Amino acid sequence: MSKRLSGKTALITGASRGIGYAIAHAYASEGANVVLNARDAERLAHAAQALQDEHKVMVQSYAGDVTDRDFVQLMVEQAWAASPIDILVNNAGVYKPLPFVDYAEQDFRDLFEVNVFGVIHVTQVVLRNMIARGGGNVVNIASTAGKWGSRNQSAYNMSKHAIVGMTRCVALEMAPHKIRVNAICPWIVDTDLADTFTGGHAEILGLSKETVETNLKNAIPLHQRWIRPEEVAGLAVYLGADESSYITGQAWTVDGGYTMI
């Protein structure tokens, strides 16, 4: 590894598994100290220990919910005291597919609470510190659902459209402070959420999960498979590194060409 992130500290939410853990692993491999956050304390502890055992970097972990503003404030204060945060990766998110007319009001609130307000809480607290320090970097994990329309997941799409919009607006506001803000918009990544996606849509469409998965994979122009978490992590490394120092306000699509068809 080239150690492109050596000397930097990154806070990553939703870091105990899936995309979040892949990014934490990639960042640590590139020399970054990592601050991990997730709700599942046991799984988070295992993730932190695995990174600590493999990499010679500082690993902090804070189990808690990003929808809790008080927890977020305390987490950032404690993490910053140990090492100022150079990169924030907002990855924590939830998903629930349903036809629009079948969503309950609470479904919309639940998705927005995590996918939007959770990002707002962490980003506001971290940015205030970054502004005082004179620089920083934010990478939001959004989705292709934040750039296009989709059937049977309007609540999720709405939440991810909000993150893409927030990315663009905050990038403009933060530019004078030398803080960059970008988003990554993947299609289906090979994580637990992929099973939720295919299972949920299979139920809605009255098809088998295997049929839905096969049809979706066959429609991807490149590779005909789900995205690997490390493929998202590679872009997150680039956006977190100094080599992307002139890039801000962008929403990067990672989908094997799916949204071009």
**Residues catalogued as catalytic:** 156
Residues 6 or more apart whose CB falls under 8 angstroms from that of 129 comprise 76, 80, 84, 85
Alpha helices in the chain (DSSP H): 18-29, 41-54, 69-82, 105-112, 119-133, 154-174, 192-205, 209-218, 229-240
Tokens of 66: 């990003």
Q: Identify how many contiguous H helices and E strands the chain contains and give both numbers.
A: 9, 7
Residue with tokens 């004078």, as numbered in its chain? 176
Amino acid identity, residue 33? N
What is the per-residue burial (b if ≥16 Cβ within 10 Å, else e) of 36-56?
A: bbbbeeeebeebbeebeeebe
Task: Identify the CA nearest to 137 among candidates 205, 236, 231.
Answer: 236
Is residue 71 exposed (0-12), middle (13-18) or buried (19+ Cβ within 10 Å)?
middle
CA geometry: angle 228, 156, 129, nearest 5 deg: 80
